């Protein structure tokens, strides 16, 4: 049996956010084990991850600064999403039930209080596709999405109209037009079906339905960093396009919107025959940010969005090999690190089953979250302008 990939001392210390001296103190106390050879000390990545989670649960391990990592800088009132008893709600309706029973467009019409508005014209789509096609071959689908938002703004003569109702108009324009532009040909149609055509390698009778549910499940989830960026832009009365562009800047990050990429790669390795412990260890070592697709602090158990999306996949013929990989990885992580699947693992499973690129999960996530960003912008327009402009406290050297 091949030895699992291990973390170097520097990698293990970076994962725990400590100095090497502290890492070796954990070893001397018997809290971590290591293997030594001529090249140095090596650590089991799953043991390191489990230890990291234990430290986060221990008050004594809290950071000495006033605000620990991941702690909100502020608390903002929101009327869109909340979590009660480990279940996600949009206002007073269960997100899980909406995902199983309603289309993405129907949920948006309810959230925005407006029926779908006119879709972008063929001329608009042509402009956006030309802008996307100018990107180099190595550009990701998320890169194309960002360029598409800017191109749609440039083609919209009313983009700077300050009337709040233009936020919803822009929202409908983006959620209908971006999938069609990504598809390279054809006109706007149902969002999920069009996005499936843009991202998947082949037609599938169940594909758009599952993708529709995924789009609903990712609309909003507390105040993620991208949502905060959207509200800050809206606080300055940015247009709907600028709100989404600001949010995408924060979204395009490995600790937020693109985390499903590593989860998809890990699941692909297991599906293709690699042992789950080896695939997990390699993913932890290569990413340096924990186990991809696991852990969500807002839930006491599994991320309900992952539970719903994986349950939908279990009802589809042809998903068995991907779900077997999910189950093998989940069992190994539960045994070694005591953490549950999150949305990123489910998005990784969805993209792997659908034959989409590894980056496609981020596009699905972003397309659904655009609806949430626009919803938050609508709310922020009702607040005092520029209220989210914080004051800085200088901590640098004193003037001479």
User: 167 pLDDT exceeds 60?
Assistant: yes
Residue 281 to residue 41: CA distance in whole angstroms: 16
pLDDT recorded at residue 349? 98
What tokens were used for 325? 């990989």
Percent of the chain whose pLDDT exceeds 90: 67
CB burial class (10 A; 0-12, 13-18, 19+) of residue 109?
Answer: middle
Percent of the chain whose pLDDT exceeds 70: 94
Picking from 52, 45, 41, 60, the residue whose alpha carbon sits closest to that of residue 16 is 52
Distances (CA, A) of 111 to 164, 337, 374: 15, 38, 10
Q: Where are the alpha helices (DSSP H) in 159-275?
A: 165-182, 191-199, 207-217, 225-235, 240-251, 259-271
User: 350 pLDDT exceeds 90?
Assistant: yes
User: 208 pLDDT exceeds 60?
Assistant: yes
pTM: 0.84
Q: Taking the CB of residue 338, how many other CB atoms lie within 10 A of it? A: 13
Confidence band, pLDDT 50/70/90 cuts, at residue 306: very high
The answer to whether 178 touches 367, Cβ cutoff 8 Å, is yes
Q: Where are the alpha helices (DSSP H) in the chain?
A: 9-16, 20-28, 45-57, 95-101, 104-112, 122-133, 141-154, 165-182, 191-199, 207-217, 225-235, 240-251, 259-271, 276-287, 304-314, 320-337, 343-354, 360-381
What tokens were used for 246? 């600001």
User: 184 pLDDT exceeds 60?
Assistant: yes
CATH assignment of 7-61, among 1.10.1660, 2.40.50, 1.20.120, 2.60.40 = 1.10.1660
For the chain, domain boundaries: 7-61, 81-256+359-381
pLDDT recorded at residue 71? 64
Confidence band, pLDDT 50/70/90 cuts, at residue 18: confident
User: 64 pLDDT exceeds 60?
Assistant: no
In this predicted model, which residue has the larger pLDDT, 127 or 71?
A: 127
pLDDT recorded at residue 11? 86
In this predicted model, which residue has the larger pLDDT, 73 or 167?
A: 167
CATH of domain 81-256+359-381: 1.10.580.10
User: 68 pLDDT exceeds 90?
Assistant: no
Decide: helix, strand or coil at residue 389. Answer: coil
Confidence band, pLDDT 50/70/90 cuts, at residue 317: confident
- Across the range 389-394, mean pLDDT stands at 88
User: 373 pLDDT exceeds 60?
Assistant: yes
User: 41 pLDDT exceeds 90?
Assistant: no
């Amino acid at each position: 049996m091949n030895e699992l990939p291990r973390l170097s001392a520097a990698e293990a210390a970076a994962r725990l956010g400590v100095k090497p001296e502290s890492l070796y103190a954990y070893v001397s106390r018997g809290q971590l084990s290591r293997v030594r050879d001529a090249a140095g000390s090596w650590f089991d990545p799953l043991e390191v991850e489990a230890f990291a989670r234990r430290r986060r649960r221990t008050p004594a391990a809290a950071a000495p600064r006033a605000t620990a990592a991941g702690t909100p800088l502020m608390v903002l009132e929101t009327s869109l999403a909340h979590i009660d008893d480990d279940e996600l709600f949009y206002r007073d309706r269960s997100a899980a039930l909406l995902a199983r029973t309603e289309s993405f467009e129907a949920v948006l019409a309810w959230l925005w209080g407006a029926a779908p508005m006119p879709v972008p014209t063929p001329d608009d789509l042509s402009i956006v596709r030309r802008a996307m096609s100018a990107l180099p071959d190595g550009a990701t689908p998320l890169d194309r999405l960002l360029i598409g938002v800017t191109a749609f703004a440039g083609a919209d003569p009313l983009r700077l109209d300050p009337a709040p109702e233009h936020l919803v108009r822009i929202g409908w324009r983006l959620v209908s037009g971006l999938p069609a532009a990504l598809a390279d040909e054809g006109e706007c149609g149902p969002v999920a079906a069009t996005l499936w055509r843009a991202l998947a390698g082949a037609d599938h009778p169940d594909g758009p339905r599952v993708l529709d549910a995924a789009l609903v499940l990712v609309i909003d989830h507390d105040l993620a960093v991208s949502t905060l960026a959207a509200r800050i832009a809206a606080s300055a009365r940015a247009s709907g396009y600028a709100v989404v562009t600001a949010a995408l800047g924060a979204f395009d990050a490995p600790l937020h919107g693109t985390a499903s990429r590593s989860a998809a790669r890990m699941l692909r390795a297991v599906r293709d025959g690699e042992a789950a412990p080896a695939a997990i260890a390699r993913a932890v070592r290569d990413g340096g940010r924990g186990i991809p697709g696991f852990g969500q602090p807002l839930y006491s158990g599994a991320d309900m969005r992952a539970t719903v999306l994986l349950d939908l996949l279990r009802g589809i013929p042809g998903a068995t090999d991907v779900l077997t990989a999910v189950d093998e990885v989940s069992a190994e992580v539960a045994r070694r690190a005591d953490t549950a699947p999150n949305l990123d693992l489910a998005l990784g499973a969805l993209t792997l089953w659908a034959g989409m690129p590894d980056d496609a999960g981020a596009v699905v996530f972003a397309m659904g979250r655009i609806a949430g960003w626009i919803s938050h912008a609508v709310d922020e327009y009702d607040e005092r302008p520029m209220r989210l402009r914080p004051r800085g406290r200088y901590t640098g050297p004193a003037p001479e």
